Amino acid sequence: MSFLKRASVTALILAFPLEGCGGVLDPQGPVGVSERLILFDSLAIMLTIVIPVIVATIGFAWWFRASNARAFYWPDWAFSGTLELIVWAIPALVITFLGGIAWFGSHALDPYRALDSKVKPLEIEVVSLDWKWLFIYPNEGVASLNQLVLPVGAPAHFKLTSNGVMNSFFVPQLGSQIYTMAGMTSQLTLQADQPGTYQGLSAQFSGDGFSDMHFDVRALPTDAYAKWIADAKTSGSTLNAEGYGRLAKQSERDKPVTYGSIDPKLFDAIVNETAPPAQGPTEGSAGQDAPRAPRGGS
């Protein structure tokens, strides 16, 4: 077994205790699996330098210890072309391999690139608010707050924006964190391969309620997902401009809510900033009554 393969196996063994953490080392979709492979490949390549350097450091310290009479010195040594070649060639090879992994990986995992699948992608519009997440299903005509529901095995194509400050959408087990910004959209395609509930979160500090700005991602079998859509249509309230205006106000720890009908032009209005604006910065501590400054104020 080559040293690189042994290093890869070592990395997998060391990372095994973290598999149960529900993060990037426990992927549940093709994007997450590819990102974990890049991490392990990069680690294995870097270990080809780190491990020999550690071993050499310990070996030199032991061999040239004061009590070793067999240790020899070359006080007049000045240059070796062979050593120069080794010293520069190894880092150059490591940078080349790491650069290759970054190059091909970044193109293969481009957020705007569609996943290879025979299943039609599910369209979802995502809006980051203070401090909650709104998920709009335009083709189904429903929406949900702080809960993202996906059918297992189907790609989900996200269009993302923010109603105020910049934020970051991240589902560690599915992969590819991406930013949301006001007045523009970004895109991302993810897929869940196994049924389950995964953690979604904000990976960008956005104010007092940032620490609780997380949501559950429920990956359901196709029939269970269809039932959730049907239940949302019959039991959810209406999300129009007035309802969105209430959502735009700052709040923390909001419980999941479903909306059975939506304004089909709401997402475009948010992107074009013609929808009710974000509440903006506040004076005083979170949770206290304080005067509200206009959007963009302080």
Cα 178 to Cα 203: distance, rounded to the nearest angstrom: 9
- Judgement on whether residues 127 and 252 belong to the same structural domain of the protein: yes
291 in any annotated domain = no
CATH code (residue 256): 2.60.40.420
Q: Which amino acid makes up residue 229?
A: I
pLDDT reported for residue 21: 47
Q: How far is CA 50 from CA 54, 57, 65, 181, 240, in A?
A: 6, 11, 23, 39, 57
Peptide bond into 133 cis (omega under 30): no
CB 171 within 8 A of CB 199: yes
- Judgement on whether residues 201 and 225 belong to the same structural domain of the protein: yes
- Judgement on whether residues 202 and 91 belong to the same structural domain of the protein: no
Cα 251 to Cα 297: distance, rounded to the nearest angstrom: 19
- Judgement on whether residues 161 and 265 belong to the same structural domain of the protein: yes
Residues forming beta bridges with residue 142, ordered by sequence position:
137
- Judgement on whether residues 166 and 248 belong to the same structural domain of the protein: yes
pLDDT tens digit sequence for 169-192: 999 999 888 999 999 999 999 999
Cα 150 to Cα 195: distance, rounded to the nearest angstrom: 9
- pLDDT-derived band at 125 (thresholds 50, 70, 90) equals very high
pLDDT tens digit sequence for 65-81: 989 988 888 878 888 88
- Cite the DSSP H helix spans in 131-240: 222-235
At 6, is the secondary structure helix, strand, or coil? Answer: helix
128 in any annotated domain = yes
Cα 33 to Cα 39: distance, rounded to the nearest angstrom: 10
For residue 234, which phi and psi values (nearest 5 degrees)? -90, -25
> In whole angstroms, how large is the CA radius of gyration of the chain?
26
- Judgement on whether residues 225 and 138 belong to the same structural domain of the protein: yes
Q: How far is CA 259 from CA 90, 140, 216, 242, in A?
A: 58, 11, 17, 13
Cα 170 to Cα 168: distance, rounded to the nearest angstrom: 6
Predicted TM-score (pTM) of this structure: 0.76
CATH code (residue 51): 1.10.287
Give burial (CB, 10 Å; 0-12/13-18/19+) of 112.
exposed
- Number of structural domains (the chain) is 2
- Judgement on whether residues 219 and 248 belong to the same structural domain of the protein: yes
- The CA-based diameter of the chain, rounded to the nearest angstrom, is 88
pLDDT reported for residue 280: 66
10 in any annotated domain = yes
At 217, is the secondary structure helix, strand, or coil? Answer: strand
CB 180 within 8 A of CB 168: yes
48 in any annotated domain = yes
279 in any annotated domain = no
- Judgement on whether residues 100 and 139 belong to the same structural domain of the protein: no
- Judgement on whether residues 87 and 128 belong to the same structural domain of the protein: no
139 in any annotated domain = yes
Q: Give the mean pLDDT of 19-24.
A: 59
- Judgement on whether residues 145 and 51 belong to the same structural domain of the protein: no
292 in any annotated domain = no
For residue 66, which phi and psi values (nearest 5 degrees)? -60, -30
- Judgement on whether residues 141 and 258 belong to the same structural domain of the protein: yes
- Judgement on whether residues 85 and 181 belong to the same structural domain of the protein: no
- pLDDT-derived band at 282 (thresholds 50, 70, 90) equals low
CB 160 within 8 A of CB 202: no
Q: Mean pLDDT in the chain?
A: 83
91 in any annotated domain = yes
pLDDT reported for residue 128: 93
Best-predicted range by mean pLDDT among 76-85, 118-127, 228-237?
118-127
pLDDT reported for residue 281: 60
pLDDT tens digit sequence for 209-223: 888 899 999 999 999
Q: Residue 97: which domain range? A: 3-68+79-108
